[in-house]
Amino acid sequence: MKHPDFQAEIRELNAAYLMLAQKMLRGDRETALFRLGIGKELAGFIENLSVAQLVRMADSPALIPRFRFDDERLARLMAGEGRDETASVLHAAIVAAGRAAEDAA
């Protein structure tokens, strides 16, 4: 049985992520650091990537973006599961922000 090769999709996702990250960092650096979940050194590296470097990185066989959590409960909250969808999403944002602060410390 042949397994699907997702390399084209991975390349496209990586490129979109890196271009978005650069745009966010150049627009509002502090908010971008929080939303991307990255440190200042990595942010500087991403922000200064040339087009050629960005393309080479995007061509990686691994996904560059990653989930910032490994908690099913948080994933369910982010998906709006719970008694009140709006409250679930806000709760998820608070939990995620707390985890980002813990990781930065």
> pLDDT for 18-38, tens place per residue?
999 999 999 999 999 988 989
Token representation of residue 23: 């745009």
Are 53 and 79 found together in one domain? no
Are 95 and 73 found together in one domain? yes
Give residues with Cβ within 8 angstroms of 10, minimum separation 6.
60, 61, 62, 63
| Domains held by the chain: number | 2
Range of the structural domain that residue 97 is part of: 68-105
Tell me what the mean pLDDT of segment 91-102 comes to.
Answer: 67
Are 5 and 27 found together in one domain? yes
CATH code, domain with 59: 1.10.4000.10
> pLDDT for 28-68, tens place per residue?
999 999 889 899 999 999 999 999 999 999 999 999 998 77
Are 19 and 55 found together in one domain? yes
CA dihedral (101, 27, 75, 80) positive or negative: positive
Q: How confident is the model at residue 104, as a pLDDT?
A: 55
Angle between helices 51-58 and 7-27 (to 10 degrees): 140
Are 72 and 62 found together in one domain? no
Are 87 and 99 found together in one domain? yes
Give this prediction's pTM: 0.74
Residue 62 to residues 1, 3, 12, 48, 75: CA-CA distances in angstroms? Answer: 23, 16, 12, 21, 22
